[in-house]
Amino acid sequence: MRWFLVLCLAAAVLMPAGPSLSAQGDAGAGEHLAQQWCAACHVVSENQANAATIGVPSFFDIAANPDMTEAKIATFLADPHPKMPDMGLSNPQIRDLAAYIVSLGR
Ligand code: HEC
């Protein structure tokens, strides 16, 4: 019985830490970030009636644009155009947001 407990503990410690720590963006985390940081200006999800700002592309428009690949979106977010504020996003946040936006186009 004691060995069983030790094995369980070892398994818990050695478990991979989850998708958000991998190199790939996590679209679910990106959606959460988008609702928190981007929804003031962009339409970021289907259950958002409209964005506060007119003339800002919705995330669906961005996802539908074949030029906006995940890498392009990430580059933009690391160094946004003057019209959009630099939100000081971390690299994992950028990856998650880019993965989320691209996932909307599928
Ligand atoms: C204060 C308003 C505002 C906020 C907040 C904001 N954006 Fe933007 N965003 C804009 C505007 C305005 C543009 C259009 C920029 C331009 O055309 O030069 C834009 C453009 C973009 C584009 C490029 C679209 C394209 O086709 O070139 C992406 C990607 C984007 N935003 C993602 C985000 C993400 C992700 C967030 C949240 C972290 C965010 N934005 C938060 C105003 C905002």
Closest-lying ligand 1 atom to the alpha carbon of residue 98: 35
Span 52-94, pLDDT tens digits? 667 889 999 999 999 999 999 999 999 887 778 888 999 999 9
Residue 83 located in a structural domain: yes
How many C-beta neighbours within 10 Å does residue 72 have? 14
**Rounded distance, CA 14 to CA 18, Å?**
12
Which of 31, 33, 35, 41 to mutate to test ligand 1, by most ligand atoms within 8 A of the CB atom?
41
Domain count, the chain: 1
Residue 3 located in a structural domain: no
Span 18-43, pLDDT tens digits? 444 446 899 999 999 999 999 988 99
Residue 14 located in a structural domain: no
Q: Which residue range(s) make up the domain with 93? A: 25-104
CA 9 distance to own-chain centroid: 32
Query: Distance of CA 81 to CAs 24, 32, 53, Å?
Result: 25, 23, 16
Residue 81 located in a structural domain: yes
CATH code for position 71:
1.10.760.10
Residue 6 located in a structural domain: no
Q: How far is the CA of 84 from the centre of ligand 1 (A)?
A: 5
